[in-house]
Amino acid sequence: MEDDEEPPMAVQIQPDISVGKIFSVEESSDVVSVGVTVITGYLGAGKSTLVNYILNGKHGKRIAVILNEFGEEIGVERAMINEGEGGALVEEWVELANGCICCTVKHSLVQALEQLVQRKDRLDHILLETTGLANPAPLASILWLDEQLESEVKLDCIITVVDAKNLRFQLNERRDSSSFPEAFNQIAFADTIIMNKVDLISQEESDELEKEIHSINSLANVICTVRCQVDLSNILNCQAYDSTHVSRLESLLEANKSLTTTDLHDSGVRTLCISEPQPIDLDKVRLWLEDILWDKKMEMDVYRCKAVLNIQNSDQLHILQAVREIYEIVPARKWSEEEDRGNKIVFIGHKLDEEVLRSGLRDCRP
Amino acid sequence: MASESDASSIATLSCARCQKPAHLQCPKCMDLKLPREEASFCTQECFKAAWSSHKAVHVKAQLSSIAKSLPGDQNSDLISQGWLYCVKKGQARTPKLPHFDWTGPLKQYPISTKRLVPAEIEKPDWAVDGTPKIEPNSDLQRVVEIKTPEQIQRMRETCKIAREVLDAAARVIRPGVTTDEIDRVVHEATIAAGGYPSPLNYYFFPKSCCTSVNEVICHGIPDARKLEDGDIVNVDVTVCYKGCHGDLNETYFVGNVDEASRQLVKCTYECLEKAIAIVKPGVRFREIGEIVNRHATMSGLSVVRSYCGHGIGDLFHCAPNIPHYAKNKAVGVMKAGQTFTIEPMINAGLWRDRIWPDGWTAVTADGKRSAQFEHTLLVTETGVEVLTARLPSSPDVYPWLSK
Which chain B positions have a beta carbon within 8 Å of A147's beta carbon?
A: 327
> What pLDDT, on the 0 to 100 scale, is given for residue A94?
54
CA distances from A65 to A22, A55, A92, A109 (A): 37, 8, 11, 14
Taking the whole predicted model, whether its pTM rises above 0.90 is answered as: no
Tell me if B376 sits within 8 A of B339, measured CB to CB: yes
Task: Identify the DSSP state of B121.
Answer: S
- Distance of CA A30 to CAs A62, A105, A111, A119, B325, Å? 21, 21, 20, 19, 19
Give the tens place of pLDDT for each residue, B53-77: 888 888 877 766 665 555 556 688 8
- Cα–Cα distance measured from residue B33 to residue B49, given in angstroms and rounded to the nearest whole number: 22
A15 to B59: CB separation less than 8 angstroms, yes or no:
no
| Averaged pLDDT for residues A315-337 | 90
Q: What is the mean pLDDT of residues A196-213?
A: 88
* Mean pLDDT estimate for chain A: 77
CA–CA separation, B395 vs B365, rounded Å? Answer: 33
Q: Say if A8 is an interface residue toward chain B (CB within 8 Å).
A: yes
| Residue B220 reports pLDDT greater than 80 | yes
Task: Look at residue A261 and tell me whether its pLDDT is greater than 80.
Answer: no
* pLDDT value of residue B142: 87
Is residue B163 over pLDDT 80?
A: yes
How far does CA B370 lie from the centroid of its chain?
7
The pLDDT value given to residue B52? 86
DSSP string, B25-71: E-HHHHHTT--GGGGEESSHHHHHHHHHHHTHHHHHHHHHHHHHH-S
Is residue A131 classed exposed, middle or buried when 0-12, 13-18 and 19+ CB atoms within 10 A define those classes? middle
Put simply, the answer to whether B55 touches A4 (Cβ < 8 Å) is yes
Measure CA A280 to chain center: 26
Q: With contact defined as beta carbons under 8 Å apart, do A156 and A239 qualify? A: yes
Point out the residue among B136, B300, B321 whose CB comes nearest to the CB of A75.
Answer: B136
The answer, yes or no, to whether residue A343 has pLDDT greater than 70, is yes
A72 CB within 8 Å of a chain B CB: no
Q: Find out whether A327 and A293 touch, Cβ atoms under 8 Å.
A: yes
Encoded amino acid at A39, one letter: I
CA dihedral B316→B317→B318→B321, nearest 10 degrees, is 150
Check whether B6 has a pLDDT greater than 70: no
In degrees rounded to 5, what are phi and psi of residue B201? Answer: 70, 15
Q: Is residue B291 within 8 Å of B328, Cβ to Cβ?
A: no
Distances (CA, A) of A132 to A76, A183, A213, B255: 14, 11, 20, 60
How many CB atoms neighbour CB A33 within 10 A? 18
Q: What is the mean pLDDT of residues A334-361?
A: 88
pLDDT at residue B350 greater than cutoff 50: yes
Across residues A41-58, what is the average pLDDT? 74
CA distance B281 to B162: 25
Rounded average pLDDT over B97-126: 96
Region class of B92: left (phi > 0), else alpha (psi between -120 and 50), else beta: beta
ipTM of the prediction greater than 0.95, yes or no: no
Q: Is there a binding annotation on residue B295? A: no
pLDDT reported for residue A82: 53
Please count the CA atoms within 13 angstroms of the CA of B132 that sit on its side-chain side.
23
- B157 belongs to an annotated ligand binding site: no
Digit-coded pLDDT (tens) for A148-184: 899 999 999 999 888 888 888 777 765 555 566 777 8
Cis peptide preceding B320, ω within 30 of 0: yes
Query: What span, in angstroms and rounded, lies between the C-alpha atoms of B171 and B167?
Result: 6
Q: Is the pLDDT of residue A70 over 60?
A: no
Residues of A in contact with B302 (CB under 8 A): 25-26
Query: What residues contact residue A175 under an 8 Å CB cut-off, 6+ apart?
Result: none
pLDDT of residue A186: 84
pLDDT tens by residue, A125-142: 888 877 655 678 888 888
Q: Taking 60 as the threshold, does the pLDDT of residue B78 lie above it? A: yes
Q: At what angle do helices B149-171 and B179-192 cross, to 10 degrees?
A: 140
Percent of chain A clearing pLDDT 90 (strictly above): 19
Q: What helix, strand, coil percent values describe chain B, rounded to 5?
A: 35, 20, 45
Rg (alpha carbons) of chain B, rounded to whole number:
23
Q: d(Cα A27, Cα A159) in Å, to the nearest integer?
A: 34
Single out the residue of B41, B65, B64 nearest to residue B53, CA to CA: B41
Q: Is the pLDDT of residue A358 over 50?
A: yes
Q: Torsion angle, CA of A279/A282/A287/A292, rounded to 10 degrees? A: 60
Give me the mean pLDDT over the A222-232 stretch: 87
In this prediction, residues B13-39 reach a mean pLDDT of 84
Q: CB distance from A2 to chain B under 8 Å?
A: no
d(CA A63, CA A124): 6
State yes or no: pLDDT of A88 exceeds 50.
no
Average pLDDT over residues B343-348: 98
Selected for mutation to probe chain B from A14, A25, A143, A282 (highest B CB count within 10 Å) is A25
Q: What percent of chain B has pLDDT over 90?
A: 77
Q: Is B201 on the interface with A (CB under 8 A)?
A: no
Cα of B79 vs its chain's centroid, Å: 25
Of residues B377 and A337, the one with the higher pLDDT is: B377
Q: Which pLDDT score is estimated for B9? A: 46
Task: Report helix angle A354-362 to A282-293, nearest 10.
Answer: 160
- Nearest CA among A88, A86, A110 for reference residue A97: A110
Question: A-chain residues within 8 Å CB-CB of B13?
Answer: 13
pLDDT attached to residue B167: 98
Smallest CA–CA distance, residue A161 to chain B, in Å, is 28
| pLDDT at residue A100 tops 80 | no
CB B186 within 8 A of CB B165: yes
H/E element, A55: helix A47-56
Interface check for B90 against chain A (CB to CB < 8 A): the answer is: no
Containing H/E element for A272?
strand A269-276
Higher pLDDT, B11 or A354: A354
CB contact under 8 A, B137 and A99: no
Q: Which residue has the higher pLDDT, B58 or B324?
A: B324
Closest C-alpha to A136, from A25, A252, A36, A215: A36
More confident residue, A207 or A266: A207
Which alpha helices (DSSP H) does B124-278 contain, by range?
A: 126-129, 134-137, 149-171, 179-192, 259-277
pLDDT at A316 over 80: yes
Output A128 or A261, whichever has higher pLDDT: A128
Quick one: what percent of chain B has pLDDT higher than 70?
A: 94
Q: Is A58 helix (H, G, I), strand (E, B) or coil?
A: coil
Q: What is the mean pLDDT of residues B324-334?
A: 95
Predicted local confidence at residue A116, as pLDDT: 79
Other CB atoms within a 10 A radius of the CB of residue A256 amount to: 16
Tell me which of A83-87, B126-130, B146-150, B183-187 is least confident.
Answer: A83-87
Distance from C-alpha of A52 to C-alpha of B224, rounded to nearest angstrom:
52
**Residue-level pLDDT at B15:** 87
For A133, list phi and psi in degrees, rounded to 5. -95, 105
- Region of poorest pLDDT, from A28-42, A323-337, B296-310: A28-42
CB environment B214-251: b (16+ within 10 A), e (fewer): bbbbbbbbbbbbebeeebbbbbbbbbbbeebbbbbbbb
Is A16 touching B (CB cutoff 8 A)? yes
Highest mean pLDDT among A93-97, B54-58, B193-197: B193-197
Backbone torsions φ then ψ of B73, nearest 5 degrees:
-140, -160
Task: Using an 8 Å CB-CB cutoff, list chain B residues near A146.
Answer: 305, 323, 325, 327-329
Whether the Cβ atoms of residue A146 and residue A226 lie closer than 8 Å to each other: no
| Stretch 150-189 of chain B: residues touching chain A, C-beta under 8 Å | none
* A353 CB-near residues (< 8 Å, 6+ apart): A298, A300
Instruction: Tell whether the model's pLDDT for residue A87 goes beyond 70.
Output: no
Q: Rounded to an integer, what distance in angstroms lies between the CA atom of residue B252 and that of residue B265?
A: 8
pLDDT at residue A239 tops 90: no
Query: In this predicted model, which residue has the larger pLDDT, B36 or A278?
Result: A278
A73 interfaces chain B, CB cutoff of 8 Å: yes
A309 to A247, A340, B191: CA distances (angstroms): 14, 11, 57
> pLDDT at position A23, please?
34
Alpha-carbon distance B91 to A97, whole Å? 12
Residue B173 pLDDT greater than 90, yes or no = yes
Distance from CA of A327 to the nearest CA of B (A): 7
Q: Could you tell me the pLDDT band of residue B4, with boundaries at 50, 70 and 90?
A: very low
Q: Are the C-beta atoms of residues B341 and B377 closer than 8 Å to each other?
A: yes
The contacts of residue A41 (CB under 8 Å, 6+ apart) are: A47, A160, A161, A162, A163, A186, A194
Q: Is B22 on the interface with A (CB under 8 A)?
A: yes
Assess contact for B361 and B313: CB atoms under 8 A.
Answer: no
pLDDT, mean over chain B? 92
From CA B17, how far away is CA A120, in angstroms rounded? 50
Could you please report the per-residue DSSP string of A82-146? EEEETTEEEEEEEE--TT--TTBSS-HHHHHHHHHHHHSS---EEEEEEPSS--SHHHHHHHS--
Looking at the complex, does the CB of residue B96 fall below 8 Å from at least one CB of chain A? no
